[in-house]
C-alpha cells in the first residue's frame, strides 16, 4: 500500500551537545540521516520523502543526500521552532491516502514495522510504533517519589506514526487553533478523539538523543553487519 513519509530533521540537537544538527554525526562512517532514509529509499511503496530542515542546514543536507538512492523522492520543507511545527510544514507538502511521520533521529526502523503501520493506519485511521516499558516508572515531585505507575499498560512510544492523511491534517489544525503543542503526532490525534492503535516495534528503534545513544547505535549496526 502506497504512503508518503515526513522526516522531521530540523532540530538543534541540544541534548546531544554536538553544536550542530545531530543528523550529520557519522555512525559506522555514514551520517545518521543516510541510515534513516535507507529503508524509505528502498521501499517501492514509499512515494515521497518530505524532509523538514533548517534553512542553514540545506546545503549540507543536499550535498549529503545527492548520491543517496532516495534522493529522487525527497522534497524539502523548512522546519519550525517546535517539532510539531516542522511536521505541520511537511503536511502541507503531503498527498495520497497514508502519511507516516518518522524522526530523522531514529535510523534503525525496520521495513516490516513500516508495512504493519501502513496497513493498520489504512484499516483503523491511526497507528504508532511502540515497545513495552521495561523499567519501573514512578512519578516524583522534587525528586521525591509520589506514585508508582502500574507498568502493565505502559508503552514506550516511538516513530513511525502512521495516519490517514485527513485525520492527521485535521488534528494538527485543531492543535494550532487551540495553541496545543504535543510531543508526538498521536497526542494531537488522541486529543481530536481518534482511536490510535499500537504496533509493537523493537528495541533497536532508538532515538539518538544524548551522546550515550551513539554507542548503542554503533553496537546495533555491528550486530546487523554480523547477522548479514
Ligand X SMILES: Nc1ccn([C@@H]2O[C@H](COP(=O)(O)OP(=O)(O)OP(=O)(O)O)[C@@H](O)[C@H]2O)c(=O)n1
Closest CB to ligand LQXTBERG among residues 71, 157? 157
Which residues does 144 contact at the CB level (< 8 Å), separation at least 6? none
Is beta strand 155-164 parallel, antiparallel or unpaired with respect to 126-132?
antiparallel
CA-CA distance, 207 to 211, in Å (whole number)? Answer: 11
Residue 14 within binding range of ligand X, rule CB under 6 A: yes
Residue 12 within binding range of ligand LQXTBERG, rule CB under 6 A: no
* SS3 of the chain: helix, strand, coil, percent, to 5: 40, 25, 35
Among 3, 4, 6, 11, interactor with ligand X by CB under 6 A: 11
Residue 90 within binding range of ligand X, rule CB under 6 A: no
| Residue from 131, 194, 201, 191 nearest 165 by CA | 194
> For ligand LQXTBERG, what does the binding mask look like between residues 157 and 196, x meaning CB under 6 A?
xxx-----------------------xx------------
Cell numbers found for residue 119: 496497513
Residue 103 within binding range of ligand X, rule CB under 6 A: yes
Q: Which of residues 109-138 bind ligand LQXTBERG (CB under 6 A)?
A: none
Beta bridge partners of 163: 99, 126
Residue 92 within binding range of ligand X, rule CB under 6 A: no
Closest CB to ligand LQXTBERG among residues 119, 209? 209
Helical H runs in 24-82?
A: 32-42, 58-65
Cell numbers found for residue 110: 525496520
Q: How many Cβ atoms from other residues are within 10 Å of residue 216's Cβ?
A: 15
Give the count of residues interacting with ligand X (CB under 6 A). 22
Residue 157 touches which member of ligand X, ligand LQXTBERG, none, C-beta under 5-8 Å by kind:
ligand LQXTBERG
Which residues in this chain contact ligand X in the complex, by CB under 6 A?
A: 8-16, 22, 52, 79-83, 86, 103-105, 207, 209
Amino acid at each position: 500500500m502506497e504512503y508518503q513519509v515526513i522526516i522531521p530533521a530540523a532540530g538543534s540537537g541540544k541534548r546531544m551537545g554536538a553544536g550542530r544538527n545531530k543528523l550529520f554525526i557519522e555512525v559506522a562512517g555514514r551520517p545518521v540521516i543516510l541510515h534513516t532514509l535507507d529503508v524509505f529509499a528502498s521501499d517501492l511503496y514509499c512515494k515521497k520523502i518530505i524532509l523538514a530542515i533548517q534553512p542553514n542546514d540545506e546545503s549540507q543536507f543536499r550535498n549529503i543526500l545527492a548520491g543517496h538512492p532516495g534522493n529522487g523522492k525527497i522534497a524539502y520543507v523548512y522546519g519550525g521552532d517546535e517539532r510539531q511545527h516542522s511536521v505541520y510544514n511537511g503536511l502541507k507538502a503531503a498527498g495520497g491516502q497514508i502519511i507516516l511521520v518518522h524522526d530523522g533521529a531514529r535510523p534503525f526502523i525496520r521495513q516490516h514495522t513500516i508495512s504493519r503501520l501502513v496497513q493498520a493506519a489504512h484499516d483503523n485511521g491511526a497507528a504508532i510504533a511502540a515497545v513495552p516499558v521495561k523499567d519501573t516508572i514512578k512519578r516524583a515531585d522534587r525528586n521525591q517519589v509520589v506514585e508508582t505507575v502500574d507498568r502493565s499498560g505502559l508503552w514506550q512510544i516511538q516513530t513511525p506514526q502512521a495516519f490517514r492523511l485527513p485525520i492527521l491534517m485535521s488534528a494538527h489544525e485543531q492543535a494550532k487553533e487551540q495553541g496545543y503543542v504535543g510531543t508526538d503526532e498521536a497526542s494531537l490525534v488522541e486529543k481530536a478523539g481518534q482511536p490510535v492503535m499500537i504496533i509493537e516495534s523493537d528495541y533497536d528503534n532508538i532515538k539518538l538523543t544524548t551522546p550515550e545513544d551513539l554507542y548503542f547505535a554503533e553496537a546495533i549496526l555491528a550486530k546487523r553487519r554480523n547477522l548479514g
